[in-house]
Structure 1
Amino acid sequence: MNGTIFDIKRFAVHDGSGIRTTTFLKGCPLKCQWCHNPESIDKNPVCIEKTVQLNGRKFTDNETIGYQISSDELMDELLKEQVFMEESGGGVTFSGGEPLLQHEFLVEILQKCQALGIHTIVDTTLFANWSVIEKIARHTDVFLVDLKIMNDQQHQFYTGVSNKTILENIRRLTNNGNLLHIRIPMIPGVSTSEENVTKSIEFLQTLKHPFGRVDLLPFHNTAKEKYKRFHMENHFVEEHSLKKEELETIKKQFENAGFTVQLGG
């Protein structure tokens, strides 16, 4: 089976434990206004003009973002770093975009990893039907789950979708006994608000089964050049990238509520 990806990141250390190879699948049903991978939203490969400047001269060429790859071909790529994964306690991570959007391809590649004893992580919004998540859960070791905004109206405004399915799937996944880490993107004036922090803590405290930890992901504006290249509106172009120390107060709020917290993923 073929899937559409737009990048493979080798020797990744921020997408789970140990040294990992992260595969970025194309396509996402959300349109987060702060997205740092705006090239991932369209599920199809897209062609853009790329301009480089050398010795005062500009050169323009076409660049295609995204390409199809079979599960066998992808496994060949993933196995190139297998020794580093094994020695470091790492594995492979599937991110995006939203990897659940290509769930049939994802299940196939997860099964191949599982057969070889390769540790797997799926980085997801959980915005999908529960039947899809159940299939994925049988073949993955850990979920990295985004918890973006607790207020549903604000969630719809900033991401384009309701958070009701997401919250319910988080609850069902923990009840199912699957290991997951909660990731909260710390967006200035949005998820960093006192109301959102409080509501996030209250929701997490209602979960019956424990989860790994809470990752607070500082907003960064490093994608602003991507927005220019893809001719996309950048709603947070004026916001500065947050430093980890700016989140210490929020980190302590989660810790005081009994959660293990990490700044960054």
Structure 2
Amino acid sequence: MDEAMIFNIQSFSLHDGPGIRTTIFFKGCPLKCLWCHNPESHKAAPELLFYKERCTGCGICVQACPRGAVVIKDGKSVNDRTKCAACGVCVKVCPSGAREISGKKISAGELMEIVEKDRMFYESSGGGVTLSGGEPLIYGEFAREFMERCHKAGIHTAVETSGYTDEENLRRTLALADLVLFDIKAMDENLHRKLTGVSNEKILKNARILCHNMKKKMVIRIPVVPGCNDGKDNIEKTARFIKEKLDLSVPVHLLPYHNFGTAKEERLEWERQNIFSKPEEEQMAQIKTWMENYGIAAQIGGSM
């Protein structure tokens, strides 16, 4: 695979592995988590982001669109997503910056040129590069090639993954990862399907493979979403799985839900289906205690 669809490259990241890092966000994901904070990552294709509050209703985009996907209504431009091809013509002509295309194909060589610019920060902080998403493993061949380049350049690599992939792709791609940040959303399979749209059977199997067969340095990450996966039963089942099926040396990062994805859903012009609240500090502390009761090294937040 010569190129991958990337929707963001974030320099100076402090919560996606050790030290100062460059986090690369791959576009496309097999999961559809109800609370997703990167909804623009769902599709592995470019998409239009529309900042309605910036729109002046000038109509230039209407004239420019080659597919007739934009009209003016009540003084604002209205987009027909069924016609939009995310070609970016409207983005180029919009004078108010109300339009943006999320997603661009980038080669491994181009990515290396970008990450090399921050090498001094990686070296001074023990940092490196993190592949995130979306789901980077859907670009397995590309991710492997890119990590090979990083290793040759002496750059530490981390991969944040849902773990939802076949075993062959998991082994081949993550063989070159120095660190795996592995998400576990829920232990009950039916609950997991309800929350993410997929079974967790493959995910839990892959967690065991990474820990025991591949002996990867890994961190379990749990997004804590009130009313979804924050109950004592789910937390204790997760703790038992880590203790009995993985290893007590595997740390856990408890990541409190935040609503950053809400604004992104508005830019994608999605109809809001789910509203979640942030967990209270006391609730997070209780979950941490439940984990620690099983001998697990748990922390709140993702800094390392």
For the criterion TM > 0.5, the same-fold answer is yes
Which range moved further: 89-98 or 192-201? 192-201
Q: 2:158 aligns with which of 99, 103, 121?
A: 121
Matches within 5 A, 1:92-107: 92-107=129-144
Bigger Cα Rg = 2
Q: How many Å apart are 1:261 and its aligned residue?
A: 1.0
**In the alignment, which residue of structure 2 is the partner of 1:227?**
265
**In the alignment, which residue of structure 2 is the partner of 1:88?**
125
Q: 1:69 aligns with which of 83, 106, 113?
A: 106
Deviation track 1:172-197 (CA, whole Å, cap 9, x = no partner) reads 11112111100011010111011101
Task: Provide the C-alpha distance between the structure 2 equivalents of 1:91 and 1:134, rounded to a whole number of angstroms.
Answer: 21
Task: Provide the C-alpha distance between the structure 2 equivalents of 1:148 and 1:260, rounded to a whole number of angstroms.
Answer: 18
Which range moved further: 176-185 or 60-69? 60-69
Q: How many Å apart are 1:219 and its aligned residue?
A: 0.8
Please provide the CA RMSD for this pair: 1.9
Q: How many Å apart are 1:243 and its aligned residue?
A: 4.3
Q: Which has the higher strand share?
A: 1
**In the alignment, which residue of structure 1 is the partner of 2:182?**
145
Deviation track 1:69-117 (CA, whole Å, cap 9, x = no partner) reads 1100000001110000110001110000000011111111010001111
Matches within 5 A, 1:164-175: 164-175=201-212
Letter matched to residue 267 of structure 2: R
Task: Provide the C-alpha distance between the structure 2 equivalents of 1:80 and 1:60, rounded to a whole number of angstroms.
Answer: 28
Matched, 1:156 2:193: yes
Task: Provide the C-alpha distance between the structure 1 equivalents of 2:197 and 2:271, rounded to a whole number of angstroms.
Answer: 15
Q: 1:200 aligns with which of 238, 241, 262?
A: 238
Contact residue 142 and residue 179 of structure 1 kept, 8 A: yes
Contact residue 218 and residue 244 of structure 1 kept, 8 A: no
Task: Provide the C-alpha distance between the structure 2 equivalents of 1:116 and 1:243, rounded to a whole number of angstroms.
Answer: 43
Between the two structures, name the one with larger relative contact order (CA 8 Å, sep ≥ 6).
2
Q: How many residues align?
A: 264
Secondary structure of the equivalent of 2:269? coil
Q: How many Å apart are 1:210 and its aligned residue?
A: 4.5
Secondary structure of the equivalent of 2:35? coil
Kindly tell me: are residues 5 and 208 of structure 1, through their superposed partners in 2, closer, same or farther at Cα, counting changes over 3 Å?
closer
Q: How many Å apart are 1:208 and its aligned residue?
A: 4.8
Letter matched to residue 264 of structure 2: K
Gaps of 5+ in 2: 59-75, 77-95
**In the alignment, which residue of structure 1 is the partner of 2:62?**
none
Runs of 4+ off more than 6 Å: none
Gaps of 5+ in 1: none
Q: Percent identity?
A: 40
